[in-house]
Amino acid sequence: MKLRISYYTGLLSALAVCAFSIYTPVRSEPIKSTVIAWREGDIEDAFAEAQEKHRPVLLYWGAKWCPPCNLLKQTLFKDPGFIAETNEFIPVHLDGDAKDAQIWGERFRIQGYPTVIVLSPNRTEITRLSGGSMAASLTETLKIAAKRTASVDDLLSRAADPAHLSPDDWYLLANFDWFDDAQRRGDFEKKVITLTYLAASAPTTAMQRHFALTALIEASGNQHPSKLTPTQQRQLRTILPLILPDASEVRANRQELSDNVASLILALPDRAVRRSLASQLTVALDRLAVDTAISPAERLSAIGAEIELSKADNSGKISPKLLDKLHQRISSADKTITDPLMRQATMPEAGQLLKEAGELGAAAKLWEAELPRSVAPYYYMADLADLAESLKDNRAAVGWLAKAAGSAQGPATRLQWAVLYSRGVIRLAPDDKAAISRSADTVVAALRANTSGYAARSARRLKDWGSMLEAWSIRHDGDAILVRVSAELDDVCARGNCRNVIRRL
């Protein structure tokens, strides 16, 4: 649930969304509009219209509480270029709390919020991406994508002979989101080989460096701290000093620079080289922090890499100078961002940065101040519970989780937060059988009221909760509670819209 905004810049591939389309829509006269003509939850109607008009479906899966979803709404979905390009698709919005939304999510293999999928009228998936920001290259990507007839796999197969790739092909490959590549997820070795080949074959030096940097991140398994071979260390020392002085390359690689490169730098054995590259990265990210071409959330998150580097050099603490910089940037964001949706997209990240900097009290103060004005205060309550747990105040943590579960809105969301609450009680107050029983009742009640469908996210969370409750019962003589809760689940699931997740009886 802890979402780093910059991590979700999957829309940098941005429709790479149809970028890799296996379907070419029949173009009609463009419809001028200032908003996207979303079909709200009408999946069947959307596909019927897609078949009638010979257009692909653009499916957006989101949630009210989700920070990167709100960032999408306030940036990408308001961009005139994007709005114009959506006229070539049948756009449909599926809120995770809508009736049967979780069932549709399972059918489309959706893992999390937000996700954007492009499908042909016959429901064949063209491509998908997860994202939370508007890429500067988005409109151009969409224009190119609308003309495409090849999938990304087709492009990669043709890349064996670079002469078979057009400039548009290379543009789409360069903007593809390799980190959210469902087709090759987890197969780091295969992706590294592909990216290394592309880095050697790309037609421009900027593309070559982008592919090479992405390959290094994938080679490290996207882990913190990273591990690099001597060859990879030389590559990093070569490409970073060429990327960092160039504002356009920094913007194009902002996800990688904000989230991953600090860990790569810390993997270098030479301390002088580490300090030099860390200094260059800091300068580049400071420029990014004032780049109005990107969202406030991304500008704020740019300081995350500097926090990681400073903690590594100062025994887990950040320097007073950096702490001042962090507070100034958060204060500026707090004063200038007044739109409720943009605050929901930005202030969770602000608190996470304070937490990473060791400023737990400041993070709690910031998030508590958001509660009365947030579009989804229960999201912050979960964060506040996490902070309280970090401070070993388990009672306060359970209290925040209970408040969050009690105020969550929407059937799927209530179920998710009820499970979060019950899991927290099991973990933090394992000897309080009454509290565990009450929290389990909250889950059962949320499941009983659920209309969003028992599938996808909901099913996974219930299964994990059931396993945790069973394990607690073994350690704490909780069979009486387990039997009672299982009977309640049998009653709820008799309607056929769920499964009893408790098996040890």
Extents of the domains making up the chain? 1-149, 388-493
Give the pLDDT score at 25.
39
Q: Is the pLDDT of residue 185 over 60?
A: no
Q: What is the mean pLDDT of residues 62-69?
A: 91
Measured from the Cβ of residue 280, the count of other Cβ atoms closer than 10 Å reads 16
| pLDDT at residue 13 greater than cutoff 60 | no
DSSP E strand boundaries for 414-477 = none
In the block, which residue shows the tokens 């009408």? 42
pLDDT-based confidence at residue 451 (cuts at 50, 70, 90): confident
- Tokens (6 digits) for 280: 């260059």
Which distant-in-sequence residues (6+ apart) come within 8 Å of 195 by Cβ? 178, 211, 212, 214, 215, 218
Mapped onto helix, strand or coil, the DSSP state of residue 223 is coil
In whole angstroms, give the CA distance from residue 21 to residue 127: 7
Q: Among 20, 327, 304, 4, which residue's Cα sits nearest to residue 146?
A: 20
Cβ atoms 199, 211 nearer than 8 A: yes
Where is average pLDDT lowest: 82-91, 322-331, 376-385, 467-476?
A: 82-91
The 10 Å Cβ neighbour count of residue 229 is 10
Could you name the CATH architecture of 1-149?
Answer: 3-Layer(aba) Sandwich (3.40)
User: Based on the number of CB atoms within 10 Å of its own CB, is 31 exposed (0-12), middle (13-18) or buried (19 or more)?
Assistant: exposed
Instruction: Taking residues 452-459, report their average pLDDT.
Output: 78
Bigger pLDDT: 347 vs 496: 347
Whether residue 19 contacts residue 156, with contact meaning beta carbons closer than 8 Å, is answered with: no
Residues whose CB is less than 8 angstroms from the CB of residue 102 and which lie 6 or more positions away in sequence, other chains included: 96, 412, 452, 453, 454, 455, 456, 457, 458, 459
Distance CA 323, CA 343 (A): 22
The pLDDT > 90 percentage for the chain reads: 56
Q: Burial code of 472-495, b = ≥16 C-beta within 10 A, e = fewer?
A: bbeeeebeebbeebbebbeebbee
Average pLDDT over residues 427-439: 97
Confidence label for 111 from pLDDT (cuts 50, 70 and 90):
confident
* Residues paired with 93 in a beta bridge: 40, 60
pLDDT at 179 over 70: no
For residue 289, pLDDT over 80 is answered with: yes
376: which 2 tokens? Answer: 């989804």
At position 218, the amino acid (one-letter code) is E
pLDDT band at 326; cut points 50, 70, 90: very high
pLDDT band at 91, cuts 50/70/90? very high
- What band does 143 get if pLDDT is binned at 50, 70 and 90? low
- Mean pLDDT within 155-178: 78
pLDDT of 343 reads 95
Question: Which helix (H) or strand (E) element contains residue 310?
Answer: helix 304-313
pLDDT of residue 186 exceeding 70, the answer is no
**Mean pLDDT of all residues in 255-266:** 92
Task: Name which residue leads in pLDDT, 121 or 364.
Answer: 364
| pLDDT exceeds cutoff 60 at 183 | no
Q: Distance (Å, rounded) from C-alpha 292 to C-alpha 283?
A: 17
- Taking only the tens place, the pLDDT of each residue in 122-138 is 887 776 665 544 454 55
According to the model, what pLDDT value does residue 148 have? 57
Q: 71-85, 179-193, 253-267, 443-457 — which is least confidently predicted?
A: 179-193
**Is residue 261's pLDDT more than 50?**
yes
Output 204 or 504, whichever has higher pLDDT: 204
Q: Which residues touch 49 (CB under 8 Å, ≥6 apart)?
A: 39, 55, 90
**Mean residue pLDDT across the chain:** 85
Contact status, residue 326 vs residue 305, Cβ threshold 8 Å: no
Share of the chain above pLDDT 70, in %: 84
Residue 353's nearest CA partner among 1, 2, 87 is 2
The yes-or-no verdict on residue 78 having pLDDT over 90 is no
Query: 202 Cβ partners below 8 Å, 6+ apart?
Result: 170, 174, 208, 210, 211
Tokens matching residue 326: 């962090």
Residue 79's φ and ψ, nearest 5 degrees, are -75, 120
Band (8; pLDDT cuts 50, 70, 90):
very low
Helices (H), 109-204: 138-145, 152-158, 167-174, 188-201
Residue 503 has pLDDT above 90, yes or no: no
- Residue 293: φ, ψ to 5°: -75, -10
Q: How far is CA 330 from the centre of its chain?
A: 21
With the C-alpha atoms ordered 149, 155, 160, 161, is the resulting torsion angle positive or negative? positive
Confidence category of residue 22, pLDDT binned at 50, 70, 90: very low
